[in-house]
Amino acid sequence: MRCLLGIFVCVLAVVLSPTVGCAQIRIIPQEVVQEAATPSKIESVGIVIEGGEVIDLGTIGEGDQPRTFSVVWRNDSGRSAAITRIRSGCGCLVADYDKRAIENGARGGITLTFNPKGRIGAVQHHIYIYTTLADTNPSAVIKLVGKVDGKNGEDPKWPHQIGTLQLRTKQVSAEDRVSRIAVRNGGSTPLVIKHDARLSTRGIKAYTEPQVLHPTEEGFLVVEMPNEGLKEGPAMLFLGGVNAPPRERMIEIK
């Protein structure tokens, strides 16, 4: 009884203590959660993707029509198998597939449709295929790679892109107190770009001049280092206000 009472008091103290609660709670961006949620194990159950497990869509424009791919899978498991679900971490991908059971040695079909709208930059998505052979872990995985250019195609003046934000470079020097990178809004909606305080090193700030970048408008991305300088260890700057995964929103600090 004393032991249970002690545990209850400790739990109650943690719940009521604002200091402990604030120190332990951290809001994680949804896209970071999705990237971390990828399955760590692929079951080897005899599902074969014919033609290879990597689909290269090449380079397409953001304004192009959705691209559709036909995938054939073969059942070499020794028993009947059916796809139960197909999952990916990107809403830009839609999958349609045979729901009927496929006998050993037979083939089934999968149709994948990729929508490039709002996905400017490198494309690298995994599509996880679950079957009745191993419902907990995926039985096979397909990787979609390629690149999506702005609606007007790639401009050599702007060799780097983060979402619809076009940049002259994606690097700044840690030795410069303030750095300016020429940028342009290559999309069709206004952009308000700032540093992502959740992911960036504390004290590093970023904003654009002008504050709002209208479509086709050029300006500068201003990067400010902390007044007290950077401490030892890697410094990181991630931009907010652009529709892109965290790894693509990073500005390199050299």
Inform me whether the pLDDT recorded for 132 exceeds 90: yes
d(CA 200, CA 198): 6
Helix (H) or strand (E) holding 10: helix 2-16
For Cα atoms 193, 162, 225, give the angle at the middle one, nearest 5 degrees.
50
Inform me whether the pLDDT recorded for 29 exceeds 80: no
pLDDT at 196: 93
Q: Is residue 113 within 8 Å of residue 68, measured between CB atoms? A: yes
Which CATH number does 160-253 carry? 2.60.40.10
Per-residue confidence at 90, pLDDT binned at 50, 70, 90? Answer: confident
d(CA 20, CA 8): 16
Single pTM value for the model: 0.48
Mean pLDDT across the chain, nearest whole number?
80
pLDDT at 151: 59
Inform me whether the pLDDT recorded for 5 exceeds 60: no
State the average pLDDT over residues 43-71.
86
d(CA 135, CA 117): 32
Per-residue confidence at 224, pLDDT binned at 50, 70, 90? Answer: very high
pLDDT at 165: 92
The third-level CATH classification (topology) of the domain covering 47-149 is Immunoglobulin-like (2.60.40)
Query: In the structure encoding, which two tokens stand for residue 180, read together?
Result: 């300016």
The DSSP secondary-structure symbol of 157 reads: T
Nearest residue to 118 via CA among 191, 180, 25: 191
Inform me whether the pLDDT recorded for 63 exceeds 60: yes
Inform me whether the pLDDT recorded for 128 exceeds 90: yes
d(CA 215, CA 194): 17
Q: What are phi and psi of 174, to 5 degrees?
A: -70, -20
Inform me whether the pLDDT recorded for 22 exceeds 50: no
pLDDT at 7: 43
| 111 Cβ neighbours under 8 A, 6+ residues apart | 68, 69, 70, 71, 95, 96, 97
Judged by average pLDDT, the poorest of 15-19, 75-79, 119-123, 189-193 is 15-19
What does the domain layout of the chain look like in residue ranges?
47-149, 160-253
Asked if 47-149 and 160-253 have one fold, the answer is yes
- What is the per-residue burial (b if ≥16 Cβ within 10 Å, else e) of 112-127? bebbbebbbbebebbb
Inform me whether the pLDDT recorded for 138 exceeds 60: yes
State the average pLDDT over residues 230-246.
83
Query: In the structure encoding, which two tokens stand for residue 97, read together?
Result: 């597939």
Q: Is residue 162 within 8 Å of residue 250, measured between CB atoms? A: no
pLDDT at 164: 87
pLDDT at 113: 92
Q: Is residue 162 within 8 Å of residue 187, measured between CB atoms? A: no
